Amino acid sequence: MPELNLTPRHVRYPLPGGQILSALVWGDTQHPPLLALHGWLDNAASFNLLAPLLARHFQVISLDLPGHGYSSHRPPGGDYGIPGYVVDIAQFMDSYLPQGAAVLGHSLGGIVASLLAAVQPERVTRLGMIDSLGPQVTTPEAFTVDLGKAVKRRVGERRSVVPQYDSLEQALAARKGGWLPLTDTAAAAIVPRNLCPCEQGWTWRTDPRLRYSSLHKFTEPQVTAALAAIQCPVLLLEGADGLLVKAQAFFAGRHEHIAQLQTVRVPGSHHCHLDGDIHAMADLLTDFFTDH
């Protein structure tokens, strides 16, 4: 078995519109590409433990999505809606993976990858999703209320104040206590890449606008129609203590809309690819992505 290379290459990928996507890349360039997309408020280092294991067989390209990590932020007036990320990844693949590729996405990254597979199936040969099965939704009745809240946030009634921390330990503690709490292992992998030095010590490198509520949420029929449009084989890894299990009612009925779906429940939280059985997950994903 080849020796693992735990040190990724740092790569920057310019896109036609001027956006710069940064990435961590593991594996031989002669191996088939595997594009990895992280979750909301995470970054490319989300795959620091899993990617070296997958790199025995693939060139793993773990991107920082716009506004995260070392990728550029949207320009003034820009927004971080999910459809925009789908465009970003389509542009990236058009420029750097024109023959298509296997894609692995966690949380937000899985949502983006699934929508790309639905609307441009020629780009995604196989899709792996980690604790991810489509976006949050709204109802037609709630649409104007949700839109009103999102507009109010953007016209300045609640400006974001970016916190500063005296130490890395303070920043780690703040991120571990978020909406989807991180274990010590997950926080240690993800947080440093999202920080930059400031006068007080440390502050977030991520764009504060990432925390704005969405200007447009999908409806459940739109989500299930998109899932039904996915043509490639799909492997869904559900964390035993993850979001899909804890919010089963919310995701109920979505699985049945994906034609070629295999679902496996694995140990760990929503970030099971960092705090679960990493070697077992790597074996599952390797078998899935190499099954022709």
Report the distance separating Cα 146 and Cα 143, nearest Å: 5
Distant-in-sequence, close-in-space partners of 248: CB < 8 Å, separation ≥ 6: none
Tokens representing residue 88 in the block: 């970003």
For the question of residue 46 being annotated catalytic, the response is no
Report the distance separating Cα 45 and Cα 49, nearest Å: 8
Report the distance separating Cα 10 and Cα 24, nearest Å: 5
Catalytic residue among 46, 107, 132, 269: 107
At 266, give phi and psi (nearest 5°): -125, 160
Q: Report DSSP state, residue 201.
A: S
Report the distance separating Cα 57 and Cα 28, nearest Å: 8
**Which residues are catalytically annotated?**
107
